[in-house]
Chains A and B, each alone.
Chain A
Amino acid sequence: MRRQWEPAMRVAEQAGCVVSASRAGQPEAGLWSCSGVILSRSPGLVLCHGGIFTPFLRAGSRVLTEAGASFLPGDSCGDDLRLHVQWGPTAASPLGRVERGRPGLCTPQC
């Protein structure tokens, strides 16, 4: 059964990434993050969920439910939006690890 899934697992893990959004100069103001899919590597194009952008929308989240809106240009969000994308290693990449705090998570004994 595992063999059946292996090729799909490899593609999924190589395409997977995590996207975080924060405000320039105010990292303590909050960090919004979600998952994403790497659509293209050259140039790098990533598709992720739009929920993390609502706090940055210049016109507020109501603009998302305006009739007929099916897309909004990138400058619909304020200039203080800072985005970062992180993805898994390829076998060859010798880069150092990044430590991040783990606010709000714990592993209670079941």
Chain B
Amino acid sequence: AGLEPSPPARHRGPPLEPPHPAELLLLLSCPDFRAHFASLFGSEAAEQWRFASAAREEEVSEDEEEDQLRALSWFALLRVRHGLEEEADLRGPALAVVPLGTVPKGTPLLACGSPFGSFCPDIFLNTLSRGVLSNTAGPLLLTDARCLPGTEGGGVFAVRPAGALVALVAAPLCWKAHEWVGLTLLCAAAPLLRAARDALRSLHPNTTSLAALLPPELGAPWALPLQDPGPLWAAAAVLVEYGTVWGSGVVVAPRLVVTCRHVAPREMARVLVRPTTPKSAKIWGHVVFATRETSPYDIAVVSLEKELEGVHMPVPTEHFHEGETVSVVGFGVFGQACGPSVTSGILSAVVQVDDTPVMLQTTCAVHGGSSGGPLFSTSSGDLLGIVASNTRDNNTGATYPHLNFSIPITVLQPALQRYSQTGDLGGLRELDHVAEPVRVVWRLQRPLAETPRSKL
């Protein structure tokens, strides 16, 4: 495509700067990022994962895809001879960089990139996307801010302190076993810039002076490493392992965990529960109740062999507010490899039968392995429900992580309380005998307006 200067007004504000020539100073990579990438996505899981390509006109061949996988953890430092200096005083304060390990999971993030790269800068230049920090493994970060091919290299910024640089986009789209994951892979900016400083100093005498011009890392209090990596309520999420099957769960009492029946299907089965903190803890428990296959509520209850200490017990909500900001905490995607992921969205629907909430829907990114995990109100931290499933289109085989279904905690709470206090399973057993309209809802069918009349 050629460059054609033309007068018409730009669609988004004042006219764009023309592209300025630049020179490549160096290519750099963060070895720690690559090590974590290999351990999370390498080995046997490798063939399951695919990452989006950098924006390019033609289809991507296998060789090119391999090239791009090799380059996924590489970044480039360029020098722009002209154009930026004239504006130096027009642009606000210099950039600052957030030190590694100081941003807790669940922190709001703002991604800024240009979908499809330089194809349509008039329309797409510096497009914004919002999300939270979903998970971290060293300098390898994940956010649920949705990004598109072409945004590789774009900056990801914190809201507080305003506009501090947290990371750069490494891979905007990730697929696992053909399922779009809905998470964006990031490389933390601090270690990347340290690598750039070291390289500039060792590369060439006349580039040493440039090292001092790279944005500094924020000092205290931002530089204090995190004590608790995430919001208080996130610690209630636990990993539940039953043989080779694993899923998520939530602690509802010091010795009681709720998960999904399809994670821990058999009563009296022994399961292993791994809390988020302390990381290394493992507690055995056994399934005291699991709904039958015929029940629409996919629930199991695990009694722990000893109390879980130091975990904030979530407060069950009594009300639901459609549209409120919510968070899902679950071990989807990475499971045991790293702690639970936090994804954000809104409570998109509360489905009621006879004025009673029987199903919650959210726009959070929910993946295989998140089942049984908790759904929280982001503002109050109250427990809203238990994640049961996301959505797959059987015709196309496409999975939609951002449409998922949770069981309202108001359905479970009375029975859980009764069992906690008296050991009586009666309330939980009633979950096997729910009314037909509730079954119809969970079969994703239209609730019957009225029972069909016989024609006879």
Contacts and interface: CB of A to CB of B under 8 A. Distances in A.
A42 B113 contact: no
B295 interface: no
Interface in B183-228: 192-193, 195-196, 198-199, 203-204, 210, 213-215
A49 B153 contact: yes
B447 to A, nearest CB: 27
B158 A86 contact: no
B27 A53 contact: yes
A71 B203 CA distance: 9
Interface residues of A, number: 81
Interface string B111-145: 11110111111100110101000000000000000
B423 interface: no
A26 to B, nearest CB: 13
A45 interface: yes
A82 B215 CA distance: 26
A37 to B, nearest CB: 4
Nearest to A43: B79
A3 B192 CA distance: 30
A15 B193 CA distance: 15
Contacts of A83: 21-24, 78
B78 A49 contact: no
Contact of A42 (B6, B13, B68, B88): B88
B397 interface: no
Interface in A1-46: 4-5, 7-20, 27, 30-46
A50 B68 CA distance: 9
Given A11-B162, A53-B27, A71-B27, A103 B119 contact: yes
Nearest to A68: B31
A13 B112 contact: yes
A35 B92 contact: no
A70 B18 contact: no
Given A33-B119, A83-B21, A96-B15, A40 B94 contact: yes
Given A16-B113, A47-B78, A71-B29, 6 more contacts: A8-B157, A12-B163, A32-B56, A49-B170, A54-B67, A97-B5
23 contacts: A11-B92, A12-B126, A12-B157, A14-B92, A16-B112, A16-B154, A31-B57, A35-B169, A37-B165, A40-B84, A44-B22, A46-B22, A46-B77, A48-B76, A49-B168, A73-B26, A76-B27, A85-B83, A94-B14, A96-B7, A100-B118, A101-B119, A104-B119
Interface of B: 1-10, 13-31, 53-58, 64, 66-68, 70-72, 74-85, 87-88, 90-92, 94-95, 108, 110-114, 116-122, 125-126, 128, 130, 150-155, 157-159, 162-163, 165, 168-170, 192-193, 195-196, 198-199, 203-204, 210, 213-215
Interface of A: 4-5, 7-20, 27, 30-55, 61-62, 64-65, 68-74, 76-77, 81-105
